[in-house]
């Protein structure tokens, strides 16, 4: 498999190692898992070699196709020739959706895709079309990748300006791509009719004939503090949480009545985890990335367990990687049982 050349140049080598771990996770539950390659490596650009017990099925090729590492797939023949393996995309909307909107602090699209693949592979819910929830969605990279995967989406973001920017981008994208869609703007209210949040609802389909059927996708976006997410996101409706936590360096969390950014991701996580539980189904996965320098993995694990999540310890070291001098990024994987 040739590696995607679009990976961030700053940590391309780390991205390859992460991608290899991701591929093994994607195929771990398959009856045809990836095995070490014992043949001779060819002089190729960045690539990943593996073998299997039997030929890959179309479904398995489809799984590999959505991996963050994927660029092209080849079979190595006995003559050491490369035989292309056609890979039909399982995506609904084009991959450009998550690439077009540029801004400072944006999480790399390929890394976001890796998180989504891990979340989908580790959830035990049986939903055919899962619902993804990002409780700190920023300007929407995770939301866009979820739409590309064909999933339904819930997003929460306290910064109303960012929410508006995401709304405007999605609306333009649908119009420019001539995708059948409907935009609805609602309000969520609490006790005594007090306004909690605006709600942007997008119903859309990549294929015109799918609109209005169970093949259509829905995205809901709320401008509310993540610590109140359970007040607006439907109970027992989400199969996965995927989010990139504040790093305490370039990013931060902000409460409604605060003017400065907090620098304690651990405190934020401790306060937010209870509000994230109610929207989750039993067996839902939780995949969070964060900066080890400001939130050690062990601290995150203690907090997850404190609030009733089961941590999958085997991923503690597999996904740790250096982004830059100030960010040593890790990922914690958990499940709500």
Which pLDDT score, from 0 to 100, does residue 9 have? 59
Environment class of 287 (CB within 10 Å of its CB; exposed 0-12, middle 13-18, buried 19+): buried
pLDDT in tens, 273-283: 999 999 999 99
Structure tokens that stand for 64 in this block:
């590999």
Tens digits of residue pLDDT in 83-121 = 999 988 889 999 999 988 887 777 888 899 999 999 999
Q: CA-CA distance, 96 to 186, in Å (whole number)?
A: 28
DSSP state of 51: B
Most distant CA pair in the chain, distance = 75
Tokens representing residue 26 in the block: 């994607």
Average pLDDT for the chain: 90
* Spatial distance between the Cα atoms of 258 and 278, rounded to a whole number of angstroms: 26
Q: Specify the pTM.
A: 0.91
C-beta atoms surrounding 11 within 10 Å = 19
Q: Residue 64: is its pLDDT beyond 70? A: yes
d(Cα 177, Cα 56) in Å, to the nearest integer?
34
Q: What is the DSSP string of 185-222?
A: EEEEE-GGG-EEEEEEEEEEESSGGGTTSTT-EEEEEE
Query: What are the tens digits of pLDDT across the range 274-316?
Result: 999 999 999 999 999 999 999 999 999 999 999 999 999 988 8
Structure letter (DSSP) for residue 45: S
Q: Could you tell me which residues are beta bridge partners of residue 244? A: 289
Residue 61 — φ and ψ, nearest 5°?
-65, -40
Mean pLDDT computed over 24-32 = 85
Domains and CATH numbers, the chain: 2-84 (no CATH), 95-335 (3.40.50.150)
Residue 288, SS3? strand
Strand partners, 241: 133, 286
Residue 142, SS3? helix
Q: Does 192 have pLDDT greater than 70?
A: yes
The CA distances from residue 156 to 96, 160, 264, 331, in Å, are 22, 10, 19, 20
């Amino acid at each position: 498999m040739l590696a995607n050349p679009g990976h961030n140049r700053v940590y391309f080598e780390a991205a390859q190692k992460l991608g290899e771990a991701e591929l093994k996770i994607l195929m771990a539950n398959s009856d045809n898992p990836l095995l070490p390659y014992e043949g001779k490596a060819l002089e190729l650009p960045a690539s990943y070699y593996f073998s299997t017990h039997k030929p890959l099925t179309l479904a398995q090729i489809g799984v590999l196709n959505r991996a963050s590492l994927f660029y092209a797939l080849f079979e190595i023949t006995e003559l050491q020739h490369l035989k292309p393996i056609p890979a039909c995309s399982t995506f609904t909307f084009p991959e450009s959706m998550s690439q077009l909107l540029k801004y400072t602090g944006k999480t790399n699209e390929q890394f976001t895709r890796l998180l989504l693949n891990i979340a989908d592979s580790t959830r035990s819910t049986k939903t055919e079309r899962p619902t993804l929830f990002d409780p700190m969605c920023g300007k929407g990279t995770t939301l866009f990748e979820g739409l590309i995967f064909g999933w339904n989406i819930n997003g929460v973001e306290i910064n109303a300006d960012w929410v508006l920017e995401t709304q405007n981008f999605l609306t333009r994208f649908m119009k420019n791509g001539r995708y059948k869609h409907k935009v609805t703007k609602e309000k969520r209210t609490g006790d005594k009719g007090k306004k909690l949040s605006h709600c942007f609802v997008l119903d859309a389909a990549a294929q015109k004939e799918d609109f209005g059927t169970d093949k259509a996708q829905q995205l809901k976006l709320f401008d509310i503090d993540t610590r109140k997410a359970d007040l607006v996101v439907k109970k027992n409706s989400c199969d996965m949480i995927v989010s990139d936590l504040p790093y305490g360096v370039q990013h931060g969390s902000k409460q409604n009545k605060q003017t400065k950014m907090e620098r304690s991701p651990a405190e934020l996580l401790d306060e937010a985890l209870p509000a994230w539980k109610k929207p989750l189904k039993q067996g839902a996965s939780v995949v969070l990335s964060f900066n080890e320098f400001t939130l050690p993995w062990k601290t995150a694990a203690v907090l997850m367990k404190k609030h009733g999540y089961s941590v999958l310890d085997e991923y503690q070291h597999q996904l740790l990687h250096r982004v830059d001098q100030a960010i040593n990024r890790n990922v914690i994987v958990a499940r709500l049982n």
